[in-house]
Amino acid sequence: MATTLYDKLWSAHVVAQRPGHPAVLYVDLHLLHDGTYHRAFRMLDEQSLRVRDPARAVGTTDHCLPTRTSFTVARSGPAPAVDVVAGLVAACERHGIRVYGPDHEHQGIVHVIGPELGLVQPGMTVACADSHTTTLGAMGALPLAIGTTQVLHALATQCTLQRRAKTMLVSIEGTLRPGVCAKDVILALIARHGIDLGVGHAVEFGGAAVRAMSMEARLTLCNMGAEIGARAALVAPDDVTFEYLRGRPFAPSGAAFEAACVRWRGFVSDEGAIHDRVVRFDAGDVAPMVTFGTTPAMGVAVTGRVGDPADSATPEGQRELAAALDYMQLAPGRAVTSIAVGTVFIGSCTNSRLDDLRAAASVLRTGRVPANVRLLVVPGSQAVRRAAEREGIADIVRAAGGEWGVPGCSLCVAMNDEVARPGEFVASTSNRNFQGRQGPGTRTLLMSPVTAAASALAGRVADPRPCLERQHAGG
């Protein structure tokens, strides 16, 4: 019978399932980070349980790691970052779990290093206590976004209880226009279909536009699967995936790699497989996108205007948009390019990979950031940092007047001494524009790395395409 990718991944990992009960699902790889581990290890210790298979877990420090200061001096706030970061390293070491502390060569944002190190491979289940675990589905693995209690479960039993999701195929067709990134495509999809599109579903992204995307672009796409409420996001693995994995530190090598590719090729939705829902989306007319509200769905083309509650189809929609604009202090109908930004943040598990930083640098090299704008560029991992420094990207950022940060979640999550000022507009390549996400009272505008870079130079939201076209014309 023709089977979907999700169903193949699911079936291969069901350990047991009693009728009417959730399935006991095996976790091939468990990624830990410093954001939400504490209670899990405490409960493990209190119940005198041991980690069932330490070799299937890997820890990294990202959420609480300060971006600028040395991590040993970060002692402010209700839960001092230094204690939280050191606590994860200690807990992992105590239980024999490989862990990448602040200065380790493999350290980085959990959703960046998983693929980058070749830890995440097609056909696996990968659990991580973070909603953006959806990112990892871009590798053709089944991502399991779990809570802290389930971290305990996965440590103690290598399993979590899971319910089978419905399946959805989002088929993205067309060719992306110049200056348009995966980030723009997913923001446009969310603006069209809403933040609940994926609820209850494992969403497989397919179609010509996805097949044409680089691995890094697919990771961005699946990252934002969390913003449509999807239980999992997926992309079927193909040659792009395999070539990305070749030579990575934890990927198989030599003949084993070739054998793995043959096996991995099976993890695709069969011809004729039936998804519970199919959504078709044309990426050919997507423009660079910017959000103006407090959910990722409140977005518009950079050439467009702030939405008007009066245009909402339902009274609830009107109230929600009106409340969002009240928080953002933005008038309906205002051109988004008139919004002056105070901080520009380029980084996060959405957009901190080498391709993202290269794209941003191609814009940043053409100018300087105004004195009243702060530009913060934070590579997603030590490997990205090293490569970007070798290529001169860090120098371009600094020459433009920006700061070059230490790899971590930084200003996306604002739990690491990195916050924007109250009331400030933040042009951000991260994934969430919720109230207070980047610090109390901050106003987040989500966009792609090139749009953020263009906005940094302009001091206000800016269309990146004129700058990119000028460069292209000039060779």
Query: DSSP string of 368-386?
Result: ---TT-EEEE--SBHHHHH
Q: Amino acid letter at 55?
A: A
Among 60, 61, 150, 410, binds another protein (CB under 8 A): 150
- Window 44 to 63, contacts with another protein (CB under 8 A): 47, 52, 63
99 sits in which H/E element? strand 98-100
Q: Which region among 31-39, 171-179, 204-212, 300-308 touches another protein (by CB under 8 A)?
A: 31-39
Give least dist CB 229 to another protein, A. 6
Residues forming a β-bridge with 345: 376, 428
Q: Are 62 and 35 in contact (CB under 8 A)?
A: yes
Nearer to another protein, 382 or 430 (CB): 430
Sign of CA dihedral 286, 290, 293, 297: positive
Among 58, 82, 110, 124, binds another protein (CB under 8 A): 124
Question: Binders of another protein among 399-438, rule CB under 8 A?
Answer: 413-415, 419, 432, 434-437
Asked if residue 153 binds another protein (CB under 8 A), the reply is: yes
Touching another protein, residues 263-302 (CB under 8 A): 263, 295
**Torsion angle defined by CA atoms of residues 167, 189, 216 and 259, in that order, rounded to the nearest 10 degrees:** 20
Q: Which residue has the tokens 């971590």?
A: 408
Decide if residue 200 touches another protein (CB under 8 A): yes
In the complex, minimum distance from the CB of residue 15 to another protein, in angstroms, rounded to a whole number: 4
Please tell me whether residue 158 binds another protein under the rule CB under 8 A: yes
Q: Does 145 bind another protein (CB under 8 A)?
A: yes
Closest approach of Cβ 441 to another protein, in Å? 8
Which of 10, 35, 190, 336 binds another protein (CB under 8 A)? It is 35
DSSP string computed for 262-314: HHHTT-SPPTTPPPSEEEEEEGGG---EEE-SSSTTSEEETTSB---GGG-SS
Residue 39 burial by Cβ neighbours in a 10 Å radius (0-12, 13-18, 19+):
middle
Which parts of this chain interact with another protein (CB under 8 A)? 12, 15-16, 20-22, 24, 26, 28-29, 35-36, 38-39, 47, 52, 63-64, 77-79, 84, 121, 123-124, 129-131, 145-150, 152-153, 156-161, 195-196, 199-200, 229, 231, 263, 295, 316, 319-320, 323, 413-415, 419, 432, 434-437, 440-441
